[in-house]
Amino acid sequence: MPTSTRRARERANTRERIIEAALHVLETEGVAALTIRRIATDVEYSAPVVYQHFANKDALVLELVAHGHRLMLSEFHRAAQEPDTDRRMTRIASQYVRFAGEHPHLFQVMNDPLVDADERRRVAEPVVDVLRELLTTWSAAHDVVLADFDQACEILWGTLYGIASLGHLGNVGDDRARHLAEQALRAILLGWRTGMPASNRGPSSSGS
Partner DNA sequence: ATCCGTTCCTAACGTTGTTAGATTTCCTAA
Partner DNA sequence: TTAGGAAATCTAACAACGTTAGGAACGGAT
User: Cα–Cα–Cα angle for 109, 112, 114, nearest 5°?
Assistant: 115
Q: Is residue 114 at the binding interface for DNA, with CB under 7 A as the rule?
A: no
Q: Which does 126 bind (CB under 5 to 8 A by kind): a copy of itself, DNA, none?
A: none
Alpha helices in 103-148 (DSSP H): 104-110, 117-141
Q: Do 188 and 156 touch, CB atoms closer than 8 A? A: yes
Q: Which does 5 bind (CB under 5 to 8 A by kind): DNA, a copy of itself, none?
A: none
DSSP single-letter state for residue 191: H
Minimum CB–partner distance for residue 166 and a copy of itself (Å): 4
Neighbours of 64 (CB within 10 A): 22
Q: Is residue 28 at the binding interface for a copy of itself, with CB under 8 A as the rule?
A: no
DSSP single-letter state for residue 172: S
Total residues interacting with a copy of itself, rule: CB under 8 A: 49
**Radius of gyration over every alpha carbon of the chain, rounded to an integer in angstroms:** 20
Q: Is residue 154 at the binding interface for a copy of itself, with CB under 8 A as the rule?
A: yes
Q: Is residue 64 at the binding interface for a copy of itself, with CB under 8 A as the rule?
A: no
Give which of 94, 87, 100, 99 is closest to 189, Cα–Cα: 87
Minimum CB–partner distance for residue 148 and a copy of itself (Å): 8
Between CA 75 and CA 158 the distance in angstroms is 19
175-204 mask for a copy of itself (x: CB under 8 A)? xx--xx--xx-xxxxxxx-x-xx--x-xx-
Residues 99-118, interacting with a copy of itself (CB under 8 A):
108, 111, 113, 117-118
Q: Is residue 70 at the binding interface for DNA, with CB under 7 A as the rule?
A: no
Q: Is residue 14 at the binding interface for DNA, with CB under 7 A as the rule?
A: yes
